[in-house]
Amino acid sequence: MKLAVIGCGYVGLVSGSCLAEAGHDVVATDNDASRIATLQAGKIPIYEPNLDKVLEAVVREGRLRFTADCAEAVRGADIIFICVGTPPTESGAADLSAIDNVARLIAKESRSPKLVIEKSTVPAQTGEQLKRALQVYARDAGAKFRVASNPEFLREGTAVEDFFHPDRIVIGVEDKESEQQLREVYRPILEGKFRCPVHQPDCPPAATPDFVVTTIASAELIKHASNSFLALKISYANVLADLCERLGGNVDEVTRAVGLDPRIGGQFLKAGLGFGGFCLPKDVQAFIKLADSAGIDFGLLKETERVNKQRVDQLLDKVKKALWVMKEKQIGVLGIAFKPNTDDIRLAPAVEVIRRLLAEGAVVRATDPEAMTRARLALPSVHYSADPYEIARGADALLLLTEWEQYRRLDWKQIRVEMARALVIDARNMLRPAEMKALGFEYISFGRPDQVGVTVMQ
């Protein structure tokens, strides 16, 4: 099938590459000419595991090409995926100006029927506005438009795997023809033809995903509802951690037992520094604003957001209590990206922590396996090194802010030797308190016993 993908950010680049790997003829475009030039030169502007392998193969075989000519991409496609950004406005509502611009472009340049698909995360009823814009701005009588919603559930760090092995594919449609076209788009995935994103022969076959057909409005709501619920689970675990600190419980034991209930599940019941990135915070805000506009007070999500914003404050309280004076203290930071296996630092809690440490007069050294290039632009006064042991050298405290697996496997005995003061503050509850204490560390985390700063209510 001839597909166009408009927007070559995280969602568009992964979706376009994987759709091409599924056998379709894909043209990807973006209004950022420098990004297209980078992609045409064979370079990937983001870090995403396995994306380089897929992208290299589909470009070499001619199934995916990039163009800065958005009009060309529109005219040649039967199906158009809109993958542009919907960032928050000052009020927290989704900024849909990029969607509107793309709608006008599609309407102006189309000369034949098109299925136009919302892949971007948008509030409910955006599909109605998209249909109206396409009709109003259409220039050619042969340009008939159908609109569908196909929300993405890709997680940064596992996005390629998520695309080929989804647990569900959701489509919101108004007619059988659109449903059949989208079934055909995803047929190779529904038939389980991809054992793993790099096609290793020993990978087990994938389970068949659910193909969920809904109205457009329901599909739009599903994306925001899913992300907001995940955010709620994280904030719930963090409140449990606070309660454990007051009452002497262990949040790891509590959340593990709670998560064993199949009605609840253990995923995202993880206490620590809270959620960040460009999806969860933005989607929670947008869902709250959408509910407000519909006359619904989504107080549950407002509290979720409030709890999450407090996590940085609570971490800094732990740091200050342990160090007493922050000015001129040498603080090492392990991890800057908002989560492991990505270089994305947008709304990363670690970035806010570092900014606050610098404001207190601390001297900050930081490392991250993938995010240092982006971090240098956002935080130029930080000293960076790819070597975690150099970051620990002479440090008064070491903060673990992103749960990269390689940090768990560090030689912590050697780090103990390198540090001026053997103080580790684990904001992701990655390490085991007993093991760290046995190595001679002062060890602080969230919601676990036997650490500095725990106050047990009598």
Note whether 139 and 237 are same-domain residues: no
Q: Which residues pair with 64 in a beta bridge?
A: 26
Residue 333 domain-assigned? yes
Residue 457 domain-assigned? no
- pLDDT digit string, tens, across residues 246-274: 999 999 999 999 999 999 999 999 999 99
In three-state form (DSSP H/G/I as H, E/B as E, the rest C), the secondary structure along 403-447 is CCHHHHCCCHHHHHHHCCCCEEEECCCCCCHHHHHHCCCEEECCC
Residue 451 domain-assigned? no
What is the per-residue pLDDT for 141? 78
Question: Which domain-ending residue is among 188, 214, 240?
Answer: 214
Question: Which domain-ending residue is among 187, 214, 241?
Answer: 214
Note whether 253 and 355 are same-domain residues: yes
Note whether 391 and 340 are same-domain residues: yes
Note whether 263 and 366 are same-domain residues: yes
What would the mean pLDDT of 232-241 be, rounded to a whole number?
97
Note whether 104 and 193 are same-domain residues: yes
Note whether 194 and 246 are same-domain residues: no
Question: Which domain-ending residue is among 158, 188, 214?
Answer: 214
What is the per-residue pLDDT for 194? 75
Q: Please state, in angstroms and rounded to a whole number, the distance separating the CA atoms of residues 251 and 241.
A: 5
Domain span at residue 56 reads 2-214
- What's the number of domains the chain is made of? 2
Q: Please state, in angstroms and rounded to a whole number, the distance separating the CA atoms of residues 314 and 282.
A: 22
User: Is residue 456 scored above 60 in pLDDT?
Assistant: no
Q: Catalytic: which of 8, 18, 70, 279?
A: 279
Amino acid at 147: V
Note whether 288 and 415 are same-domain residues: yes
Note whether 201 and 119 are same-domain residues: yes
Q: What is the CATH number of the domain that holds 205?
A: 3.40.50.720
Highest mean pLDDT among 74-88, 133-147, 202-216: 74-88
Residue 453 domain-assigned? no
Report residue 162's pLDDT band, with 50, 70 and 90 as the boundaries: very high
- pLDDT digit string, tens, across residues 293-340: 999 999 999 999 999 999 999 999 999 999 999 999 999 999 999 999
* One-character DSSP codes across 156-177: TTSHHHHHHS-SEEEEE-SSHH
Note whether 208 and 264 are same-domain residues: no
- The answer to whether 272 and 238 have CB atoms below 8 angstroms apart is yes
Report residue 174's pLDDT band, with 50, 70 and 90 as the boundaries: very high
Residue 112 domain-assigned? yes
- Using a pLDDT cut of 70, give the percent of the chain over it: 95
- pLDDT digit string, tens, across residues 423-447: 999 999 999 999 999 999 999 999 9
- pLDDT digit string, tens, across residues 15-42: 999 999 999 999 999 999 999 999 999 9
- pLDDT digit string, tens, across residues 343-397: 999 999 999 999 999 999 999 999 999 999 999 999 999 999 999 999 999 999 9
Does residue 279 carry a catalytic annotation? yes
Choose among 6, 72, 17: nearest CA to 44: 17
What is the per-residue pLDDT for 449? 83
- The chain-wide mean pLDDT, for the chain, equals 93
Q: Which residues pair with 371 in a beta bridge?
A: none
In three-state form (DSSP H/G/I as H, E/B as E, the rest C), the secondary structure along 268-303 is CCCCCCCCCCCCHHHHHHHHHHHHHHCCCCCHHHHH
Residue 172 domain-assigned? yes
What would the mean pLDDT of 41-65 be, rounded to a whole number?
95
Q: Please state, in angstroms and rounded to a whole number, the distance separating the CA atoms of residues 371 and 46.
A: 10
- pLDDT digit string, tens, across residues 83-123: 999 988 888 888 999 999 999 999 999 999 999 999 999 99
Q: Please state, in angstroms and rounded to a whole number, the distance separating the CA atoms of residues 350 and 378.
A: 12
What torsion do the CA atoms of 278, 283, 285, 287 make, to the nearest 10 degrees? Answer: 170
Residue 449 domain-assigned? no
Q: Please state, in angstroms and rounded to a whole number, the distance separating the CA atoms of residues 361 and 330.
A: 10
Residue 412 domain-assigned? yes
Report residue 165's pLDDT band, with 50, 70 and 90 as the boundaries: very high
Note whether 73 and 132 are same-domain residues: yes
- The answer to whether 423 and 441 have CB atoms below 8 angstroms apart is yes
Note whether 208 and 248 are same-domain residues: no
Note whether 197 and 292 are same-domain residues: no
Tokens of 317: 């309280």
